[in-house]
Copies of this chain bind each other. A is one copy, B any other.
Amino acid sequence: MPAIDIEISEVGPRDGLQSIRPIMSTTAKKDWISALAAAGIPEIEVGSFVPARVLPQLADTAELVAHASSIDGLAVAVLVPNLRGAQDALAVGPDKMTVPLSVSETHSLKNLRCTHAQVLQEVRDIRAAIDALPAGQRPKLEGSLSTAFGCTLEGEVPERKVMEMAEKLVAAGCDEVGLSDTTGFASPTQVRDYIRAIHRLLGRDKLTGVHLHNTRGQGFANVMAALDAGLTTIDASMGGIGGCPFAPGASGNIVTEDLVFLLESMGLRTGINFARLFAARQVLAGALPEVELYGFTPEAGLPKGFRPATAQ
């Protein structure tokens, strides 16, 4: 595998597919995951262990973990909302499990029907379940701080509340926390300040990744702030599917294809091959012809004479 400066974590198969109405077939999902991995995407969040009646789009997550785990060198991530989901996940052995905690408790109650105390108890139980496994089989546990930069229900979310929850997630057993701009409220100043504050509070190894939205066009300005603060993993979604799209031409999630172009144009190696990345986009487009894909670079093409940092 080529050397990588910035790791792109592709969340399309989970965050993207859960947000759209059409259900992609398991075969198509496997093809897409294989195409993403073939392009050099180092980590893919393949699904979520939630009840099928809640998210029928992701009912085949266990099968996708098995498929993705068979791909050499690919890190396989899943979302788990609670111990029950984590147990299902541990049965198939992903490399990483992410538990979301909404810093806005109003949002947490409304979305997950859980108080902070309840989520933290689930995290402790998940930690215990992981530690009961043999050392070589323990996935990494991440606590994702959603609505970290503001909430559509509460409005401003105080920075000290974000820090408090980050600390509690690590105390409850998370190996790492992640910052998530669930609502597209984040500014570059906030992104930079929060990352630095968490690094000071918990150590740099406790926060390496960020999940940014492009709701108000600010996605890549926030990526610049995250890079500036030293993060090395950026979530993105192929074709920008998922997140909370509002406008025509507006994607919720930042677009993987454009993010790869941005990073490579800055001399930062993603390990990704453009031709294969665009081929993976075709696989997605072919499987979901009714879903609009976003992204500027696939349409504009690479600049004449462009030299990516990653050897192609």
Given contacts A150-B305, A220-B220, A247-B298, 13 further A-B pairs with CB under 8 A are A150-B303, A184-B303, A187-B265, A188-B262, A189-B266, A216-B258, A216-B296, A217-B297, A218-B261, A221-B223, A246-B300, A247-B295, A248-B299
Q: Does A180 contact B (CB under 8 A)?
A: no
Instruction: Tell whether, in the assembled complex, residue A216 and residue B297 are in contact, meaning their CB atoms are under 8 Å apart.
Output: yes
How many copies are assembled?
2
Which stretch from A76-84, A151-159, A168-176, A276-284 is at the chain B interface?
Answer: A151-159
The A interface, classified by DSSP as helix, strand, loop or mixed, is loop
Q: Does A56 contact B (CB under 8 A)?
A: no
Q: Does A255 contact B (CB under 8 A)?
A: yes
Note all chain B residues with C-beta closer than 8 A to A297: 216-217
Note all chain B residues with C-beta closer than 8 A to A267: 189
A residues with CB within 8 A of B: 150-156, 183-185, 187-190, 214-221, 223-225, 246-250, 255, 258, 261-262, 265-267, 292, 294-300, 303-306
Instruction: Tell whether, in the assembled complex, residue B214 and residue A296 are in contact, meaning their CB atoms are under 8 Å apart.
Output: yes
Note all chain B residues with C-beta closer than 8 A to A156: 305
